[in-house]
Amino acid sequence: MATENVDELTAEEEKILEPFVTNTKSSIFALRNLPEVIKGALFSKYSRSPIGLRKLLVKEFILNPEVGFKEAVNYGQQSGMTEQLAIQKAQAFYDRILDGFGDDSIGELGGAHLAIENISNIATKVIEDSRIGGSPLEKSSRYVWFNRKVNGEYLYYKDPVIMDSQFSQRYIDTLNFLFDVYSSMVDPMVKYIEEGMPKEAGVTETAYKASVRAKACDALRGLLPAATLTNMGVFGNGRFFEGLIGKMRCNEMSEMQAIAQNIQIEMNKVIPSFVRRAEPNHMFFQPYKEFMVETTKALQQVTKDHTNNVAIGKADEVELVEYDNDGEVKIVASLLYQYAHHPMSQLMKIAKGMTQEQRLAVLKESLSRRTNRRHKPFRAFENTYYKFDILGDFGIYRDLQRHRILTQERQDLTCLHGYDLPKDIVDAGLDRFYKEAMEAAKESYTIIARNYPKQAQYVVPFAYKIRWYNHINLRGLAWMAELRSGRQGHINYRRVAQTMYTKVRAVHPSLAEAMRFVDMNDYTFARLAAEMEKEKMQKTLGKTQL
C-alpha cells in the first residue's frame, strides 16, 4: 500500500516558503529572512516533530495566526509594526514552546550580533571570560593609536565609585598623564623606527608605514591604562548571552552591571525568550545571584585567611606546574581507538606494552603529514593536559585570553609584580618618561586600592604584570603556541608561546612534535612580511588597501 509523504509540499506551500528557505526541494537547505526568536522556536519544535522543517514552518508558524508570524517577519512593511512590537506580540507563544521543549539547549539555536562600544579594557576581559557559545572580536591596541580626544578629553572610563570618592581628581590626573606620555611618544617612536629600519627597495610605502605603526604601537601600548575605552563585537547564541548577562549582573563593579543591563535591553529586542532568565525579577535569577555573590565573598575570605601572612613567592614568567606522566600512552591509545573495535582499557594496555620506538612510529603516522599549522593534530591529542602558571604583562594576557579550548583563571590586575619595559623604548631614549608614567600609575593604584581594590584596576597600565593559569590539552596548546609564536605577533606573547613549547618539549619530547610549527626565531621588523603579503593578496583580488 502506498504511504503518504507527510513532508511533501504543495505548490502553494513552496511559494509561501521561498522567501524563508534557500531551496524547497533538496534535503539540505538553510533558513533566511527570519527573526532569531522564530528560528529558535522552530528548531525546538522540530526536535520532536515527525515532519520536516519546511512543512513545520508552514503549518505551525507561517499559517498559525497565534504566532504573529506575519507581523514579526513583515514588520514595518504591511503592518506598520516595529520589530520589537511584533516579537512582543508573539512572545507568549514562543515562551510556551521554549518552556515545553527545554530552553537550556534550545537557547543555543538562536543568536545575535552585538556591538559593545566605549567600554574599558577591564570590561572586555569580563565579557571574553564567557567562553562557550560566543565569539568576540576586539579593537586592537597593536594597530590603532589610542591618543584621540573627544571634546578635549581622552577616552577612558570614569568609574562612578572612584568619581564619587576623594580619589576622583587623582584618578583623572593619573589617567591624563598616562595618555599624555603615550601621545608625546608617538612621533619620536615612529621616527626612531623609521631611522633604524629605513624602507628597502621593493617594499611598498603602504606596507612600510603599516609595519612602522604596528611596531610603534607594540612598544607604546604598555602605557595605556586598563580604563582605556575600546570597542568590541560579539556574536553569540541565546544561552551565551543569558549566562553573560547573569554573571555581569553579579559583578561588584558598576561598569559590568551597567553593561549587563544594556545588553539585556538590546537582546530583549531580538531574542527575548532566550535571555529572560537573566532579568532581575525572574524567579531563577535571585537564587543564582545569591549563589554567585555569597560564594565569591566566602572564597575571598578563606583566601585571605590562608594567604595574608604568606609572602608572595618568586616564579618564572611561565611555569609548567602540572602535566600527565602517561600522556604519550594515552594519546597513542586514543589514536588507535577510532580505527579499532577494542575497549579503551585494552588499547591502553596495548599502548603501554609497546616499545618507545613503536609508540613514536604511531605518533609519526599521525603528525608527519602536517604541512602547516592549519592541519590540526587529531582529536586524540586532547587526551593529555598541561597546567601553566603565567606572569606576564596585561597586554600579553589580552592577546592570549582569547583562546577558548582551555580552562583559565586570572588574578586581579595590580602593580605588585612589576612591569615590562620594551627594548625599543630604551633604545629610543624614551625610557625615563616611560618609567615616570609607570611609577605615577603605581602610586595612584596603591592609594586607591586601599579603599577600592577592584576599581583601582582601571589605573593600571598594560605594561604591569598579571598572573593567570592555563589548563590546556595538547591539541589546544599546539594551536595556541603555533599561532601566537608567528612572526607577526607581539614580541612578548611570542616569548610566552615559545616558552610553553619548550617546557612541554622538556618533559614530553615525543609529544612536542605536535607543535612542529612553533616559530622560535626572533625578528626585528616582524610585521613587514605580513603587510606585504596582505597587499599582494589585495592586488590579486582587485581590492584597494584599507
**pLDDT given at position 80:** 47
Q: Which residues contact 324 (CB under 8 A, 6 or more apart)?
A: 330, 384, 385, 386
Grid coordinates representing 88 are 512582543
**pLDDT given at position 64:** 84
Place of cell 619620536: 188
Name residue 469's beta-bridge partners. 389, 409
Domain assignment present for residue 545? The answer is no
One domain, residues 392 and 433: no
What does the alpha-carbon distance between residue 193 and residue 213 come to, in Å, rounded to a whole number?
9
Q: Is 29 helix (H, G, I), strand (E, B) or coil?
A: coil
**pLDDT given at position 91:** 63
One domain, residues 420 and 385: no
Domain assignment present for residue 64? The answer is yes
One domain, residues 59 and 119: no
Domain assignment present for residue 536? The answer is no
Contact criterion met (CB below 8 Å) for 75 and 83: yes
Contact criterion met (CB below 8 Å) for 536 and 524: no
One domain, residues 196 and 214: yes
One domain, residues 297 and 213: yes
One domain, residues 351 and 477: yes
**pLDDT given at position 272:** 84
What does the alpha-carbon distance between residue 545 and residue 536 come to, in Å, rounded to a whole number?
10
Q: What is the pLDDT of residues 187-238, one digit of tens each?
A: 999 999 999 989 888 888 888 998 999 999 999 999 999 999 999 999 999 8
One domain, residues 353 and 287: no
What does the alpha-carbon distance between residue 148 and residue 150 come to, in Å, rounded to a whole number?
7
Q: What is the pLDDT of residues 371-393, one digit of tens each?
A: 999 999 999 999 999 999 999 99
Domain assignment present for residue 534? The answer is no
Domain that holds residue 53: 11-109
Stretches where the chain sits below pLDDT 70 are 1-6, 47, 71-106, 525-546
**pLDDT given at position 1:** 39
CATH number, domain of 480, equals: 3.30.1360.170
One domain, residues 243 and 182: yes
Domain final residue pick, 59, 84, 109? 109
Grid coordinates representing 90 are 508573539
Please give the span between the terminal C-alpha atoms of the chain, in angstroms, as a whole number. Answer: 65
One domain, residues 130 and 66: no
What does the alpha-carbon distance between residue 98 and residue 41 come to, in Å, rounded to a whole number?
6
Contact criterion met (CB below 8 Å) for 475 and 403: no
One domain, residues 209 and 145: yes
> H helices within 149-253, ranges in order?
160-163, 168-196, 205-220, 238-249
Long-range pairs, 330-337, Cβ under 8 A, ≥24: 330/383, 330/384, 331/363, 331/380, 331/381, 331/383, 331/384, 331/474, 331/511, 332/359, 332/362, 332/363, 333/383, 334/379, 334/380, 334/383, 335/362, 335/363, 335/366, 335/378, 335/380, 336/362, 337/380
Domain assignment present for residue 211? The answer is yes
Name residue 333's beta-bridge partners. none
Q: What's the structural domain count of the chain?
A: 3
One domain, residues 76 and 120: no
What does the alpha-carbon distance between residue 176 and residue 154 come to, in Å, rounded to a whole number?
7
Determine if residue 102 is left, alpha or beta; phi over 0 gives left, psi from -120 to 50 gives alpha, anything else beta: left
Domain assignment present for residue 496? The answer is yes
Q: Which residues contact 213 (CB under 8 A, 6 or more apart)?
A: 143, 145, 190
Domain final residue pick, 109, 133, 158? 109
Which helix (H) or strand (E) segment is 141 a member of? none
What's the pTM value of the predicted model, to 2 decimals? Answer: 0.86
**pLDDT given at position 269:** 82
**pLDDT given at position 43:** 77
Domain assignment present for residue 504? The answer is yes
Buried b (16+ CB within 10 A) or exposed e, 28-47: ebeeeebbbbbbbbbbbbbe
**pLDDT given at position 5:** 55
Residue 519, phi then psi, degrees to nearest 5 = -90, 110
CATH number, domain of 440, equals: 3.30.1360
Domain assignment present for residue 389? The answer is yes
Buried b (16+ CB within 10 A) or exposed e, 51-79: bbbbbbbbebbbeeeebbbbbbbebeeeb
Q: Give the torsion through C-alpha atoms of 418, 424, 428, 431, to 10 deg.
A: 0
One domain, residues 452 and 431: yes
**pLDDT given at position 2:** 42
Q: Which amino acid is at 103?
A: D
Grid coordinates representing 345 are 582499557
**pLDDT given at position 473:** 97
Q: Compute CA 98 distance to the chain's CA centroid, rounded to the nearest angstrom.
A: 28
